[in-house]
Structure 1
Amino acid sequence: MTEHATVPLRLRGMGAFHVGGRDVELSGLPVREHLMAEGGQPVRIDPNGRYVVEQMYAQYFLADPDAGRLPLLLWHGGGMTGATWETTPDGRPGWLHEFLRRGRDVYLCDAVERGRSGFAPVPHVWPEAPVIQTPADIFTRFRIGTRDPATGALCPFPDTQFPVAAFDALARQMVPRWTTTDAAVLAGYLALLERTGPAVIVCHSQAGVFALRAAHARPDLVRAVIALEPASIPMLDTATRAYDVPTLVVLGDHIDTDARWPRMADRIRTFANAHAAVDILSLPDIGMHGNSHMLMMDRNSLAIAGRVSDWLIHKGV
């Protein structure tokens, strides 16, 4: 708990809006009768016509007092929603609250095809089914602990910073995600940047790809990136445009316990070595041990937020 967590939260405004999206026209589909409510009368459903799809939902929270610094855009990871940044699974204040208390305006998003954002008729617009993760997959993939191959029991790492007693609350946050909607998701995020103006992106996992692409494409709008364990590094065309947006990549602990993460960490280090604007903050290297993939939910999440805030101030953003 930091001193900021005890300060009453004040806002000078809040609201929500949708951005982006596109129109699609469906035709040649059969008309059907469908019961829309228990005890009601069947309704004639004609699926043909114009649809608005792939719009993105965002909330904004305006800090009071305002520290006069750039706003933060909080972008969540795969199979998750903006709830990632709100109250932690065990009920502590999330990064949304912490940075508001630090005087930053914050925009909280549900990416396209998540939460309150726009979906699309399946399979007429999105031909593939979504992917859903089991709680056991989440537990091991997010490096909270291991799974006993004989019994299936979930065994947390002895030093884990994740609040294991509240793991079920994290599992309930997970939602279906598509793997073929990257272009639509990125378009939504770019539309948000057009709406907000210059900002800092704080991204997690899957959203790292979108944040780095947005920073490379629109450095006039993306002034810094905080990437919490980006799940991948996109192939950027740096021959025609350099990547020079100040970027901090934050890595947790137990990287070597998952088959994918050592390879992803290598790609992150290669990216940082190739671009002077990119810094890496490895938490174990500075004595912060036991952090999971869910850095913003771990028990020391506010201490990590403090490190991030200090880095942003040092960079002048």
Structure 2
Amino acid sequence: MQSKKAKFTLLILGISLALNFPGFAQKKPIVIVDQGSFTVGGTVKTSPGTFDPIKHGAFSPGNQPTEGQTLHGDHAYVFYQIPEKAKKLPLVFWHGYGQFSKTWETTPDGRDGFQNIFLKKDYSVYLIDQPRRGRAGRSTVPVTIPANTDDQLWFGIFRLGVGNEFYPGVQFPKDPESLDQYFRQITPDTGPIDFNANTSAVSALFEKIGEGILVTHSHSGGQGWLTALKTDRIKGIVAYEPGSNFVFPEGSVPELIPYVGGTLRALGVPMAEFKKLTQIPIIIYYGDYIPTEPVENPAQEQWRAALQMAKRWAKIVNENGGDVTLVHLPEIGIKGNTHFPFSDLNNLEVAQLMEDWLKEKGLDK
């Protein structure tokens, strides 16, 4: 923990920023008593032979000898901040596909993201880069990283609009600078996606820090359920737009859901394992522009299938004594949200929904 002098220095720094940078003028200073970073999980790969520091000691890109050497990889990277009057349960934020911890930081147009919003609400925050992504890029398995021109593909899949045209009323800033920032937070995998490596690393994180609340997005949603099967230290899950890997009891796995461009399948686990998901409160949020009937656009279709599967999943968890709430934002009058509700223009309203749920479930102490 930092001393009072250190806290005072951070506060003065915040005031200095506010005075010298107009964009910071309306922001409330945050007093942080501790922050840092570490890695969790991972493996060590060892090559046979004997390392010779003379023969093998010269660095040669692309032709490096490996005899007798090790590689530490497949870990998660975690950055954390603890505010002055921290609540008991921290928030652990896990990004989606093609993203890293930047997802939760400053929004593309420079507003507070969920990292700062919830620090100001006195929650400690832990931001994850999952194995083989972002600052956890050291992989033990090689992969070829493509350089495809695919911005418009993601523009559609992330439901900003179609092609280069925004949806009417979309809660996303339409200026070129914000869109440029948005595209630049996409990052590649540096190795094959490995659910076991990912969930083991996040489980190890909770074993290290203790009880907390897991906040997932998209690709990490299904991995969040799987992580909760590995540790009892997750006391609640907030899932933004989970897209796959919904976990059902064996024998009750629903039929796959076909959609234009693919099919969505669920996973089956023994009932004893599934029951772990009924012992914690869970809430799921989906944004706007998700069709209720099949359409020709595959970027929209995959979310129709995801929402349909999420409804089936919530039903079976609740039928087995669980506590899952599914919120489709436009159905409660919150309209225009993309696949990233937590960084959209109305993210303060979205954050308030989450905070209200945390209070309702007694997770805000």
TM-score by length of 1: 0.86
Using the TM superposition, name which of 9-18 and 229-238 deviates more.
Answer: 229-238
CA distance in 2 between counterparts of 1:186 and 1:176 reads 19
User: SS of the residue aligned with 1:275?
Assistant: helix
Give the alignment partner of residue 32 of structure 2, picking from 11, 18, 23: 11
Aligned pairs for 1:251-262 (under 5 A) are: 251-256=286-291, 258-262=300-304
CA distance in 2 between counterparts of 1:202 and 1:311 reads 13
Aligned pairs for 1:261-272 (under 5 A) are: 261-272=303-314
CA distance in 2 between counterparts of 1:297 and 1:144 reads 12
Task: Indicate how the Cα distance of structure 1 residues 32 and 12 shifts in structure 2: closer, same or farther if over 3 A, else same.
Answer: closer
Q: Supply the AA of the counterpart residue of 1:270.
A: R
5+ long unaligned stretches in structure 2: 1-25, 50-55, 248-266, 292-296
Task: Indicate how the Cα distance of structure 1 residues 130 and 222 shifts in structure 2: closer, same or farther if over 3 A, else same.
Answer: farther
Q: CA-to-partner distance for each residue in 1:255-314, whole Å, 9 max, x for gaps?
A: 126121111111100001111211111110110111000111100011101100110110
| Conserved? CA contact 1:249–1:280, under 8 Å | yes
Give the alignment partner of residue 354 of structure 2, picking from 294, 308, 314: 308
Q: CA-to-partner distance for each residue in 1:86-137, whole Å, 9 max, x for gaps?
A: 00000001100011100101111111111111422xxxx4254356672111
Q: Supply the AA of the counterpart residue of 1:164.
A: K
Task: Indicate how the Cα distance of structure 1 residues 171 and 61 shifts in structure 2: closer, same or farther if over 3 A, else same.
Answer: same
Q: Which residue of 2 aligns with 1:214?
A: 227
CA distance in 2 between counterparts of 1:111 and 1:64 reads 27
Aligned pairs for 1:18-37 (under 5 A) are: 18-27=39-48
CA distance in 1 between counterparts of 2:46 and 2:270 reads 37
Q: Which residue of 1 aligns with 2:52?
A: none
TM-score by length of 2: 0.76
CA RMSD of aligned residues (A): 2.4
CA distance in 1 between counterparts of 2:328 and 2:97 reads 22
Q: Supply the AA of the counterpart residue of 1:13.
A: D
Q: Which residue of 2 aligns with 1:126?
A: 141
User: SS of the residue aligned with 2:340?
Assistant: coil
CA distance in 1 between counterparts of 2:332 and 2:101 reads 29
CA distance in 2 between counterparts of 1:56 and 1:184 reads 9
Q: Which residue of 1 aligns with 2:334?
A: 288
| Conserved? CA contact 2:203–2:230, under 8 Å | no
User: SS of the residue aligned with 1:271?
Assistant: helix
CA distance in 1 between counterparts of 2:63 and 2:217 reads 43
| Conserved? CA contact 2:132–2:193, under 8 Å | no
| Conserved? CA contact 2:84–2:122, under 8 Å | yes
Q: Which residue of 2 aligns with 1:151?
A: none
Q: Which residue of 1 aligns with 2:344?
A: 298
Please report how far the alpha carbon of residue 172 of structure 1 lies from its aligned counterpart in structure 2 after TM superposition.
0.6
Please report how far the alpha carbon of residue 24 of structure 1 lies from its aligned counterpart in structure 2 after TM superposition.
0.8
User: Post-superposition, which runs of at least 4 consecutive aligned residues in structure 1 deviate over 4 A?
Assistant: 31-36, 130-133
Q: Which residue of 1 aligns with 2:75?
A: 55
Q: Which residue of 2 aligns with 1:150?
A: none
Number of matched pairs: 295
Aligned pairs for 1:1-317 (under 5 A) are: 6-27=27-48, 45-48=64-67, 49-66=69-86, 68-120=87-139, 125-126=140-141, 128-130=143-145, 134-147=150-163, 154-165=164-175, 166-177=178-189, 178-218=191-231, 220-232=232-244, 233-234=246-247, 235-241=267-273, 242=275, 243-244=277-278, 245-256=280-291, 258-276=300-318, 277-317=323-363
CA distance in 2 between counterparts of 1:227 and 1:44 reads 43
CA distance in 1 between counterparts of 2:220 and 2:332 reads 25
User: SS of the residue aligned with 1:117?
Assistant: coil
User: SS of the residue aligned with 1:254?
Assistant: coil
| Conserved? CA contact 1:74–1:202, under 8 Å | yes
Please report how far the alpha carbon of residue 187 of structure 1 lies from its aligned counterpart in structure 2 after TM superposition.
1.5
Q: Supply the AA of the counterpart residue of 1:156.
A: F
5+ long unaligned stretches in structure 1: 37-42, 148-153
